Structures are given as structure tokens and as C-alpha cells.
Structure 1
Amino acid sequence: MDSTGLDRYYNQRVAWKSCDHAELDAAGARCADVTVPMNYAEPRGRTITVAISRLKATDPGRRRGVMLSNPGGPGGAGLDVMLTIRKAMTPEVTARYDLIGLDPRGIGRSTPVDCGWPIGSMLRSGGVDRAAFDRNTAVQADLARRCADRHGSYLRHVSTRNTARDMDVVRGALGERRISYFGWSYGTYLGAVYTQMFPGRADRFVLDSAVDPKAWHTATLASMARPNEAAFDDWAAWTASRDAEYHLGGTARQVRAVVEDLITRAAADPIRIGRYRVDQHVVPMVPFVELDDPRKRAALAGDIRLLVDAANGKAVQPSPSLVGILQFIYEPTAQLHNSGQAAVLCGDAAAPHDPDWYWRQIQRDRRQNPIFSAIANNLNACAFWPAPAEPRTAVHNTVPALIVQSTGDTRTHYQGAASLHRAMPNSRLITLADVNVHAIFGNYPNPCVENTINTYFRDGTLPHTNITCQEH
């Protein structure tokens, strides 16, 4: 790599401007576009821009530096995420850091990948039988083709490793020796990759709801089946205890049977609800989306009730929560995850190409995980993607970090956080016990978690040992 060619990126002048974003502008944030090479191996070649925002430290006299961030996904636009995260920060923390939001390359305002897909997301269930699986396979091949036709060589350079390099250019352009960092979900993988690639540049890193770096990415998706089934059982018991309200069954087994039957019915005859025809590929996505937080239990019960009523021929008005899920899945919107998510996932690590391999995985896992096996093990556009430009990053370093994880996380399972902790032995692991929640700090209030994180950001003190926090 031509380090001389990179000097102009690290030494560029950052021109701050209005964010043209109502909430950021109201909060006093300023935004900028940072120029980075599309291909770091050819720094004198084509360039792209990465959009950042800054909420300045509230006490310049106590300022420590900058804190970058990522909201997860991958594919989540992060320009405004610090507006949410800082609500959980103490005044002592916001006094010390310029809080930096960033749209990762390929996402949001950062030279976005928009493949012109006819649907919103590639993530969906493979269906109940091989014919449905094969139809989904054809859809996924078409999605990958559209991306290759529209973006060509750029796709090979949309990756976590290059986003980590972009973060380091941002560090240099802001005149900082090191960065601190907060990331949710996929953002923990990005943060871990940064510590591996730039260990001397990492200051205080908090990785919330952690990805297992050894499993990224096909195995990460597959690992979601079991915790989702467990969370579903918890939800089914909760719903059964409220049968007078939802009429989905008086036992958890009855509630599960209703949902499994709903999937079968949607396979035979897609459910008309509003302007959508909800088929077997989408019905299981409703609980999948809403099982990431126990505060969504009522919304999920209500949405299943709506789908059952619609399947029975009743005219129903879809709820805001159900509309949001269906829009995400069916409607192409560049500002959501969509094709940008595919670019990052597929650009990070090669996926198996043989559809039969995925079908065997689904069938092998379906008995244990009847609702979610066909989501977690399903083939997606990555099966038809060009080979990644670089190998996946192996994370194994001694950078200190704070890893935060709930035991019932349905997106990034607890064992993945334990694996990341082993890969970063100088880290500490905060466990939030007996809660099915994904993304904790700034999202799911817990004084124990918040106090530990704020203490670390304030003065750099990690707990002496791993700790467990309780719900109450």
C-alpha cells in the first residue's frame, strides 16, 4: 500500500457545514464530507466521500477527544445515532468527547450503494418447501445481478475493513491521535476490526450486543435461529396469559401452533393486508423483527392477531408496527439497510454458492427451530456475489474494551459475545441477565449497565472482573 498516497487523505481539511437534518441541526451538530480512496490499495485512484456529524464536547477544558459510533445493521446510517446514544451518557461523558456520527461507505450519504432492487430487503424466510426455496433463490440471484450491473467494481470495496480504514482517515483528518468508540450489533464487529487493524489508535471502546468475529457472516445469521425460538416461547407464554385480549390460545403451545399454521396458510394463499400480499417468506419475519425487545410483546401479539384475522378474510387496518416491517421487506428504500446491507455482508466474507447446501441446513435445523430455521439458514444474495477483495479479519488482540450483552439477545447470541471476549482478553464482559433485548446502552435502560459504561468513558476504568447486571 502506498502510504505516501494516503497522506493527502489523513491531512485533508475538514469543512464543517449544516447537516441539513432537522434533529442534528437543532442539536447544534455540524456535518462534513471526508474524502477517502475507493480502493486503499490504489490511493491515487477513484475517491468517494464519507459523511460525518459532530456534536462538540460540552466542556472544552475537559475534552479528551472524539468518540466515533456505528448503529449496526450492517447498513445502518449512523449520522444521527449519537443523538440517541448520548441520552444515556452522563454530563461528565458528554463534556469530554466530540460525538461523531458516521454513515459507513456505501450507506446513507456516503457514496451509497443503491442497486435498484424491486424489493426492500434480501432477508426473508426460505419458505416451507423446496419449490418456495427455489423461487427465493431466483429472487436472490436477480438482486445480486442488479448490484453487479449498477455498481461494478465499487462493490468489492464496500467492506468492514475499508470502513475501519475510513474511520482512521476520519481520525487523522480531525487531528486526533486516537479515537474512542461506541457500536451496537454489527457495530461491535466494525469496532473489533478497527482494534485489530489499528490497535495503537484505539482509546476507549464499548461494543454493545456483540458479534462473534469468528462466525461472520453466514454463521452469524445461522446462529439467530435458536435464540429466536427461545424468545418466541417466552412471548407465546406471555401472550397465552392474555388470551382474553389477543385470542391466540390459552397456552404457549397453542399460541405457537397458531403462528406455525399461519405460515402454512400463507404458503397456500398469501394474506392480503392493506396493499401487501404477505406470503410464507414474510410471515415469519414479523416475529423475527419484533422479538428483539421485550417491550414489543404487545405489538407482536397485536400484529399476529391482525394477520390471523386477515387470513380469515376479515378487513383489517395494519398497525404502524406491521406497516413498518412490511415496508422494510417489500419496499426499496436506499436509506434503509437494503442493498447497502448486502454490499457489506457479501463484501466481507464469501458465502457458500450451492443452493443445496442452504436447503440442507434449513432441513437439518427445522425440527429444532421450526419458525426461524428457514430465515437463519436461508440463501441470500451473497451466494451470487463476487469474491471479497480481502480475507475476513481475524480478531485477536489485547486492546482493552468493554463488551455488553444480554443473555437472551435474538440477533447476536450470548455465546458470540463470549467468543469476542476471548479474542480480546483484555476486555471485560458485562452481562445483562434474563432479558431478550438487542442493543442495551441508549436503548434499554439499566442503571448497572449505564453506570459501568459511563464510568469507563469518563475515566477509563474497566471493571476488575466480568460483571452481571440484573433487570431490576
Structure 2
Amino acid sequence: MHGGTSVAINHPPLPPPSKGRRRLAVAALVAGLIGQLLAGTAVAAPESGATAPQKAPQPGRIAWKPCESDSGQGTFGCATIKVPVSWKQPHGTTIDLALARHRATDPKRRIGSLLVNPGGPGVPGVDFTLNAPQYFSPEVLARFDIVGFDPRGVSRSNPVTCDGDLVDARSRLLHPDSATSFVALRKANQALGENCRAANGPLADNMDTESVARDMDAIRAGLGEKRISYYGISYGTGIGQQYAELHPHRVRAMVLDSNIDHSLDNWAYQKTSAVAMEESYGQFADWCARTPSCALHGVDARAVFGSLYKRAAAGEIVRPGELPGDPPETLTPQDVQDLVLHKVAGPGYWFELAQDLADLDSTDPAPARSLRARGEQGPFVVDLVTCQDYEFDVSSYRTLARYERELARIAPVTRSSSMAWAELTGCQNWPTEVTNPPHRLDVDGTPKILLTNSRYDPATPYSWASNAARQIGREAVLLTYDGAGHGTYWQSPCMRKATDTYLLTLKTPRKGARCPAIWPTAPSPQRQSPSGNLLNPLPDLLGTGAHR
């Protein structure tokens, strides 16, 4: 583990999920569960179709209408803004993007607008914003209007939908074990992708991250801001990175928390993800070894994972149904991987993860309360975005099998990242064009950009943040959290203070600055953050679905 000192600051609803849909890839689960996590009421966000011809977007200020959050905290406005479905045809078909704004609580000292994106792809920024008083420090809330939006195709912004039966069929094929099953996967991906295109019109071909970054500049213009501040988590860092490339002189400040690396090819993406998963689980195992209240204390947690993986591969782990009348469920190796990925990325879940693994390892497994995902709209967003942002197609099953062997050698305990693997296999033979292919970042002319990342993050590896910072160059400052977890703002007072100071004053941490790790010491409310009595939204995301 790296040592260091404290930082110095110089839709339409889908049909009910069938059993097959419970096995959706971890990378595809965010959008459905976020509706439960960040419940909020946006009253001015209609769902409009993407296929009917409309007038080109008209310049002008956003027309806000009062709306409320379920929490009852804060003063909010909601609105919509029109953007073209294709930015290559700016006067063609349009869609409405849903927006929410939390007004600065100290308007006389207001700095401007802070646009936020909580990740995904597929997490609604409107819901995130409607809960901003619980997530951000009072200092940030006082000085900024917090502005969030549901990205194109998400929630209130013309939600993309695809046939649930086709999702079922494809979800069962995401881990091919032969050339025959690989061919079946490719056919299933093509059928699902063509259905998505037919159901959603031209929007299905324009879900890439560059388009979202261009949408964000339309929001900036509608806000009447010459320059914006931005805070993006996880996948939201990809939006920020591309915005900085496109519009460097329209950036006042930018925080990229838990970073994407859009320069990676197939193998580099899988390798870095697998290494991060292996290292993160290793931190969990070492923590268990030194924490008497961990359910696996005194047991080799690495050996427990290996045993469970082998038993699942042999079909030997059968759990009772979650609800009365549900049939028993035989777990797969991927179920074991998914459980670990979900919870190892949120240290607030480590006590629960240890108990889950202990229960699985017992001769009488408990009901599957924590292995089953809630909400399954995610794949319709994730696949459409990911398969337009990355060239993940591989030439043959032999290539895929070679990847599996090499990943198991590199990560002998956890074997691979189930999230990264599902992204790779889910894009095989996907019919939409890769309109936003991987590339090295070309950022020139922005103010200093603050990148933050945990040293042990299985969802967005530390190597991704380091590489993104190198690509950005002199405009980038990387602040490292020496602990574990996905999303750094809520991990420690040190990380929050550094982020807040930068947003408020533009003063960055010194080069090479680090914040010390904070390890869980006792079971506690999962969403409570050690940083300023805030609620941390990410552990709930990571507890039941991956978050990018």
C-alpha cells in the first residue's frame, strides 16, 4: 500500500424482470437502481419522443419552474432544454433534456453554476441534484447553483427502451465458453441492438459520450454562463474530459472524481480492470485479517473466494429464493465475482461482504438477499453508450479465450473484472457504429483540472486516473486517496476539503499530494460518509450494481 501524508492545499416502464434478467451483467445495472437510491420529484421534465420532426433548438435562457425534492431540503427549479439528436445535423430532429437546479444558498456570494454528473452511463443527474443538500458540503451549496441533467436516453430525457425478452436471451450468453456459444452471443447482441435502433429511432445511433459533452455546452449556454464549473464521478469524468477537449476556454473549474481512461484498447482495458479488482479484493482480505469483527477474521479470505468460485463452477452453491415461493438459485462463478465487485468498491459494505462470503461458504447458505440486482433498465443505456465509445469487437472466440487465460494468470484470486468483461462481450457484433472511438486526450487551454482517485478502486482503476492525468498534461493535478473505494469526495475529510477548496478558490493541491486511508472499524449505516456528515450515494449504487 502506498504511504503518504495528508494533502496540503496550496421511460417508459419495462415488463417485470424474469429470472433470466436477474443475471444481467454488473455493468448494466445502474440506471434502474438509481431511481430507488436518489428518489426525487422533477415536475417539469416531460418524456418526449426522438423520432418526430421538431424545430431546431432555439437560443435563449432556460425557463425554470419550481419543483421539489422528496427530502424537503433546498430550493429547486426544473426545466427542459432542446438539443439535436445528432450534433452533425444541428437543425434536425431534437429531444428534450431534463434539468434540475439547486439554488445557491448564499446568492450574494454566488460563484456560478456547478454542473454535475453522477456516472453510469445511465444515472439520472436530476435525481442526484434533487438530493444535493445531502451530498455536498454547505460551503459548495452556498456558493454554487448545482445543476444536473438526465443525459440523452436516460430517465426523463427521452429514455431508450429495448425488448425485455431479447435482453433475457443475451444476458444468458455474456460468458461464452466455446466457439458455438460465442457465435450465439454475437447473434443475440445483433438482434438486441437492432431492436434498440428500431425502438428508439436515430437516438440509438447518437448515444456516445461526445454527444453528451456537446449537450452539456448547450446547457451552459442556456444558463447564460460564459464558463462553467463541473464535478463528474466515474463515467461522468469521461463527459468532463471530452468537454475539456471540445471547449477548453469555457471551463472555470473541473473535478474528475474516479476516472475513465478513454485511450485504452481491448486488452489494456481488461488487464487494468482485472489488476484493480485483484488489488481491491486483496485490500479487503488484508483488512479482514487485522479486524477481529470481520466475519472472515482468522480465515484466509483469498482462499474463501477461490473455493467459492470453484464450487460455483461445479454448480454446488444453491441458495433459497429471496421471496417466499421463489425457486432456489444455483449461483455461477460470475455471481460470486459480481457480489465481490459490488461491495468491495464501497468500504462501508465490507462488514456485509465478509458476512455474505461466510454465509456462502457455509453448508446452509442464507437467502440470496444481496446477490440479486434491482432495476434493469441499465443495459439499454450502457450498451448503447459503451459500444459507441469503445471498439470492443474481437475477431474470434480464440481471442476471448486467450484473454480469459491471461487474466486468470494476472489476477489469480478474482480472475477478472466481471464489469469490464460484460462490457467487452456485450459489444460483440453490436450493430451501431463506434462514433466516438478511443483516443488520447488532447486538452489545451483549460485552467487547472483536478483529478481524484482512490488507490484501490475496482470500478475505475487508479492506473486510469494516472494515465488520464499524463494525457491532459500540465493542466492536470492528480490527488490520490490512499485507501479503497469508488468516488473520493465522500471517502475522507481530506479529500472533501481539497475538492471544496479547489472549486471555491481554484487553488489546487500540491503536485503528488495524497490523502491517508480511512478503513472501516465497525458496521455503520452504509451511506454515512466520514466526510462532514454527508450522505455518500455511491455505496448504495455499488451494493447492487456497478457504477461508472
Same-fold call, TM > 0.5?
A: yes
The yes-or-no answer on 1:197 pairing with 2:243 is no
Cα distance between partner residues in 1 of 2:293 and 2:180: 36
Equivalent of 2:395 in 354, 358, 381: 354
Aligned to 2:155: 108
The yes-or-no answer on 1:369 pairing with 2:415 is no
Cα distance between partner residues in 2 of 1:28 and 1:263: 50
Aligned with 2:279: secondary structure?
A: helix
Aligned with 2:411: secondary structure?
A: coil
CA contact (8 A) 2:258 2:488 kept: yes
Aligned to 1:468: 514
CA separation of 1:108/1:421 partners in 2, compared to 1, >3 Å: closer, same or farther?
same
Aligned with 2:504: secondary structure?
A: helix
CA separation of 1:137/1:242 partners in 2, compared to 1, >3 Å: closer, same or farther?
farther
Cα distance between partner residues in 1 of 2:280 and 2:436: 36
Aligned to 2:120: 73
CA separation of 1:416/1:245 partners in 2, compared to 1, >3 Å: closer, same or farther?
closer
Cα distance between partner residues in 2 of 1:468 and 1:245: 27
> Where in structure 1 are there 5+ consecutive unaligned residues?
1-6
Cα distance between partner residues in 2 of 1:104 and 1:207: 17
CA contact (8 A) 1:196 1:397 kept: yes
How many angstroms does 1:246 deviate by? 4.1
Cα distance between partner residues in 1 of 2:410 and 2:181: 19
CA separation of 1:19/1:116 partners in 2, compared to 1, >3 Å: closer, same or farther?
farther
Equivalent of 1:179 in 213, 216, 228: 228
Mapping of 1:378-457 within 5 angstroms? Answer: 378=422, 379-385=424-430, 386-392=432-438, 394-398=440-444, 399=446, 400-425=448-473, 426-433=475-482, 435-441=483-489, 443-444=490-491, 446-457=492-503
Aligned to 1:264: 313
Q: Could you give the per-residue CA deviations for residues 198-238 of structure 1, whole angstroms, max 9, x where no partner exists?
A: 11111110011111231278744542111111222332344
Amino acid at match of 1:210: N
CA separation of 1:130/1:283 partners in 2, compared to 1, >3 Å: closer, same or farther?
farther
The yes-or-no answer on 1:285 pairing with 2:338 is yes
Mapping of 1:88-127 within 5 angstroms? Answer: 89-118=136-165, 127=175
Higher RCO, 1 or 2 (CA under 8 Å, sep at least 6)? 2
Aligned to 1:17: 65
Aligned with 1:36: secondary structure?
A: strand
- Structure 1 stretch 158-167 or stretch 134-143: which is displaced more? 134-143
Cα distance between partner residues in 2 of 1:245 and 1:428: 36
CA separation of 1:84/1:362 partners in 2, compared to 1, >3 Å: closer, same or farther?
farther
Cα distance between partner residues in 2 of 1:239 and 1:129: 34
CA contact (8 A) 1:79 1:101 kept: yes
Amino acid at match of 2:443: N
CA separation of 1:439/1:315 partners in 2, compared to 1, >3 Å: closer, same or farther?
closer
Aligned to 2:382: 341
Amino acid at match of 1:369: A
Cα distance between partner residues in 2 of 1:249 and 1:88: 36
Amino acid at match of 2:141: T
Q: What TM-score, normalized to structure 2?
A: 0.74
The yes-or-no answer on 1:44 pairing with 2:91 is yes
CA contact (8 A) 1:421 1:427 kept: yes
Cα distance between partner residues in 2 of 1:217 and 1:19: 44
CA contact (8 A) 1:209 1:405 kept: yes
Cα distance between partner residues in 2 of 1:361 and 1:89: 41
Q: Could you give the per-residue CA deviations for residues 42-97 of structure 1, whole angstroms, max 9, x where no partner exists?
A: 12211111111000111222112111111112222211224556556443332221
Q: Could you give the per-residue CA deviations for residues 351-389 of structure 1, whole angstroms, max 9, x where no partner exists?
A: 224342323211222223243427334543322222123
Q: Count residues in correspondence.
A: 450
- Structure 1 stretch 12-21 or stretch 460-469: which is displaced more? 12-21
Aligned to 2:538: none
CA separation of 1:252/1:212 partners in 2, compared to 1, >3 Å: closer, same or farther?
same
The yes-or-no answer on 1:316 pairing with 2:366 is yes
CA contact (8 A) 2:442 2:472 kept: yes
Supply the RMSD in Å over aligned alpha carbons.
Answer: 3.2
How many angstroms does 1:13 deviate by? 4.1
Amino acid at match of 2:98: A
Cα distance between partner residues in 2 of 1:27 and 1:287: 36
Q: Could you give the per-residue CA deviations for residues 155-193 of structure 1, whole angstroms, max 9, x where no partner exists?
A: 211111111111100111111111100011111111010
CA separation of 1:20/1:64 partners in 2, compared to 1, >3 Å: closer, same or farther?
closer
Amino acid at match of 2:416: S
CA separation of 1:225/1:265 partners in 2, compared to 1, >3 Å: closer, same or farther?
same
Amino acid at match of 2:117: N
Cα distance between partner residues in 1 of 2:169 and 2:129: 25
> Where in structure 2 are there 5+ consecutive unaligned residues?
1-54, 519-548
CA separation of 1:202/1:241 partners in 2, compared to 1, >3 Å: closer, same or farther?
closer
Amino acid at match of 1:365: L
CA separation of 1:128/1:354 partners in 2, compared to 1, >3 Å: closer, same or farther?
closer
Q: What TM-score, normalized to structure 1?
A: 0.85
